[in-house]
Amino acid sequence: MTQDIVHRLVGYDRTTDRIAFQRDIPLGKLEIVKRIAHVEETDPEALGAYELSREEARDVAGILDIALPGNMHFFLEPFAAIPA
């Protein structure tokens, strides 16, 4: 997995289509999240954006031990990592 990428659970406000929620996916939990998001084998680093159903987003939130805000479209998305 490339160190220059961080994956996030991202929620878009259904009214504005703007990002209203995001949480980083720890590298140790990324493989299970990729399975939940049905990341294709042709995209092993999950460089695409993967839309999640409400149930899939809930499952990812459970893995991250977080609560989800309501009324959003959720995605698994890659972002450029910001160097420390």
For the chain, residues with pLDDT lower than 70 are 1-3, 84
pLDDT tens digits, 59-83: 999 999 999 998 899 999 999 987 7
Residues ≥6 apart with Cβ < 8 Å to 34: 46, 76
**Count of C-beta atoms within a 10 Å radius of residue 31:** 12
pLDDT score, position 83: 74
For residues 76 and 46, the answer to whether their CB atoms sit within 8 Å is: yes
pLDDT at 1: 47
Report DSSP letters for 9-76, one per residue: EEEEETTT--EEEEEEPPHHHHHHHHHHTT--TT-TT--S-EEE-HHHHHHHHHHHT-PPPSSEEEEE
